[in-house]
Chains A and B, each alone.
Chain A
Amino acid sequence: MKKPRLLRIRESLASRITLWVVLYVVVVLGISAYVGNGLVLKIVRTIEEGGILYAIGMRRMSIGLTLLFLLTMVVLTYSLRRAIHRLIAPLTTFTQAVDEVAKGNLQATLPDIHSQDEMRRLHRSFSTMQQSLARQMEELKQANEAKGRMEGELKVARDIQLSMLPKTYAPTADSYLDIYGSLTPAREVGGDLYDFVLRDGKLFFCIGDVSGKGVPAALVMATTLSQFRIAASHIDDVSKITTYINRNTCEGNDTCIFVTFFTGMLDLSSGRLSYCNAGHNRPFVVSDSLSELDSKSGLPLGVEETAPYVVHEYDMPAGAMLFLYTDGLTEAMNGQREQFGSQRLINQLNSGTGSKAQIEKMTQAVHAFVGDASQSDDLTMLAIKYKNQ
């Protein structure tokens, strides 16, 4: 394994000092030897010249000096190495502790630092970082737990919301009707709604779109849906049904959420359709020809408590299909931010198909158009085919 850089620096520093000292000693020894050798020659000459005592004295002094010098060097080297070691030793133990932290053990104990130098500052900074890391990890853990809990709750909320929608598509044993609906929220829960109730030979139905998305819209969706059920259980006049829900939606509506809402009542024996529009997309009537249900729209629910809602009427031809949708269909966007649009919708409408087949066909067309782009809005469709036996 490669040694840590500081350790390598320390070792190279120590060995470099040793190298220089050794080099120095060799040079000094060489010079001494040379001088000493010169002295030997000189001694020979001096003996011949009779100055022997002086030469021997010189030689002893030279050897003594060299030895003293050597000793100094050895002591100096040793103490230098010791000093460097003492300076860097805390770093080595510190590195081990930091390694522990890096491995994820945020509670690892840092070694005590007694010096008052950069090591101490490093120790303090690292300790602060360690504490803040531990705190953030704890916060992240809690946030993740909260997120998990929220996701779990949202999943249950989604199931609850989808179970509020009508589940059975055969409201009567007879075959006056072929009815099918589908709702796909853009997020876990959404603000679209549809419903139908059969009472006294009449079909009451509605489709709606709460402004906004997600949980706030879903709460309003649920109350709107239950209000429709209450109203449709005893009120025949669709404008009165709409007015009833509007008043309740307006009450305490500080957030200005509103609901575009279309409700209708189809008399199954006569085929007479009366309907009321509170700001919703006009439904299509698909028979031999294709047309939008003509209606002057009132304000969406929740905007104005006293808003008037006018009833319109239309005679459904036998075999005609009413196709209701929310703007999540026409405004479904592809990767190029193009919208699905009314024309593509119209192209898919076909009087020959049954309600379920029609909605499945439309769903496929939207999916093909949108491709990999994420769903931008809740998508809801309701098809009602009147057969009039």
Chain B
Amino acid sequence: MNTETYKLGEELDSFNHEQVQKEILTILEKGCDAVLDMTDCKYISSTGLRVLLYSKKVAASKGLKLYLKGVSEEVKDIMDVTGFENFFDYA
């Protein structure tokens, strides 16, 4: 199965969530697994988490996968607090 990577900026929040959502959906539309490179990402808001959640659901409905990659300590903490740490697949 093909995979395609999208690299996130420093934040994933209400300012850029629409753009990121669109990019991930574009990858999934092509029938590729999406890898979200979060190496530079230091902050993710609840709106950002919703983007990941929605993307994972869309991927699953197409028989595809969403992988997170290079998750920083800061984002890991947020995932931990919000109970999402074991929810996503990691590349």
Contact = CB atoms under 8 A, between A and B. Distances in A.
Interface in B35-90: 45-47, 49-50, 53-54, 57, 80-84, 87
A258 B50 CA distance: 7
B81 A212 contact: no
B83 A211 contact: no
A255 B83 CA distance: 19
A249 interface: no
A260 B82 contact: yes
Interface string A242-259: 000000000000011110
Interface in A247-286: 255-258, 260, 277-282
A279 B14 CA distance: 19
A195 interface: no
Contacts of B57: 256
Contact of A209 (B14, B46, B53): B46
A258 B47 contact: no
B50 A327 contact: no
Contacts of B87: 299, 303-304
A298 interface: yes
Given A256-B54, A299-B87, A303-B53, A281 B46 contact: no
A299 B50 contact: no
B83 A278 contact: yes
Contacts, number: 49
Given A256-B57, A303-B87, A282 B81 contact: yes
A300 interface: yes
A256 B81 contact: no
Nearest to B57: A256
A277 B47 contact: no
B81 A300 contact: no
Nearest to B80: A297
A255 B49 CA distance: 13
A327 B83 contact: no
A211 B47 CA distance: 6
B87 to A, nearest CB: 6
Given A256-B57, A299-B87, A303-B87, A211 B81 contact: no
A323 to B, nearest CB: 16
Contacts of A304: 87
17 contacts: A211-B49, A213-B14, A256-B57, A258-B46, A258-B53, A260-B82, A277-B83, A279-B81, A279-B82, A279-B84, A280-B82, A281-B81, A282-B81, A297-B80, A299-B84, A300-B82, A303-B53
Interface of B: 14, 45-47, 49-50, 53-54, 57, 80-84, 87
